[in-house]
């Protein structure tokens, strides 16, 4: 299964991606980790990324997509993968779709974790107040508010973009972690069969 989890900062995307990885064998692919691995492996595209980052520039979409294209061909992605941190905007989503189409494949689903931003802010304020020695510099309501604003402006439009494709599934992200995981599994229609092999209840694979 080729999957994207969407949701604002604090929605629990990383936690749910890790749970799906552990339970079903889908590989969680972090954009940052893939970039670092490509640079360390000194692949052609990794060298491009290294030169760009050395200049202090942002790695362009085509390079990131190229690194993803290399990574998803590796054997551990055979059962499926979850893209973490990409795409962040519609232009990146279009580039990703084009790359997958060139390989004769496409995303299976995009799961939106729907949460209440006000409650997220309240949670982090409570956690900060309870943290001994004070919160981290990036772990406070003001920092989260800025990240939520960036999400609303750049990433939230992906909900409409993927909604038009029929691939978007929505889950209540305000439930407990176990309930969210169960809801994701339900909307994806997947189950474990023998060993770690996965079957789509819908008959897709």
d(CA 19, CA 13): 10
CB count within 10 Å of CB 109 equals: 21
From edge to edge, which strands make up the β-sheet containing 27-30?
27-30, 81-84, 2-6, 109-114, 168-172
Name which of 101, 158, 67, 3 is nearest 59 in CA terms: 67
Does the annotation mark 36 as catalytic?
A: no
d(CA 20, CA 182): 10
Catalytic residue among 13, 19, 71, 169: 13
Does the annotation mark 13 as catalytic?
A: yes
Does the annotation mark 147 as catalytic?
A: yes
Please tell me whether residue 89 adopts helix, strand or coil conformation.
coil
Radius of gyration of the CA atoms of the chain, in A: 18
Catalytic residue among 18, 78, 136, 191: 136
Does the annotation mark 136 as catalytic?
A: yes
Does the annotation mark 71 as catalytic?
A: no
Catalytic residue among 78, 127, 191, 204: 127
Catalytic residue among 88, 123, 145, 167: 88
Catalytic residue among 36, 145, 147, 167: 147
Q: Which residues form the catalytic set?
A: 13, 88, 127, 136, 147
């Amino acid at each position: 299964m080729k999957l994207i989890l969407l949701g604002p900062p604090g929605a629990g995307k990383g936690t749910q991606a890790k749970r799906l990885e552990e339970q079903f064998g889908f590989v969680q692919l972090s954009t940052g980790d893939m970039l670092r691995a490509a640079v360390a492996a000194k692949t052609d595209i990794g060298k491009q990324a290294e030169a760009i980052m050395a200049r202090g520039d942002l790695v362009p979409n085509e390079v990131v997509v190229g690194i993803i294209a290399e990574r998803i061909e590796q054997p551990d992605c055979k059962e499926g993968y979850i893209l973490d941190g990409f795409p962040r905007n519609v232009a990146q989503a279009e580039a990703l779709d084009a790359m997958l189409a060139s390989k004769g494949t496409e995303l299976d689903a995009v799961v939106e974790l729907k949460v209440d931003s006000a409650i997220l802010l309240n949670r982090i304020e409570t956690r900060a107040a309870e943290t001994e020695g004070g919160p981290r510099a990036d772990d406070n309501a003001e920092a989260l508010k800025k990240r939520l604003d960036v999400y609303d402006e750049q990433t939230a439009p992906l909900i409409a973009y993927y909604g038009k494709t029929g691939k978007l599934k929505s889950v209540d992200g305000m439930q407990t972690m176990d309930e969210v995981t169960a809801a994701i599994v339900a909307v994806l229609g997947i189950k474990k069969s023998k060993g770690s092999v996965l079957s789509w209840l819908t008959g897709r694979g």
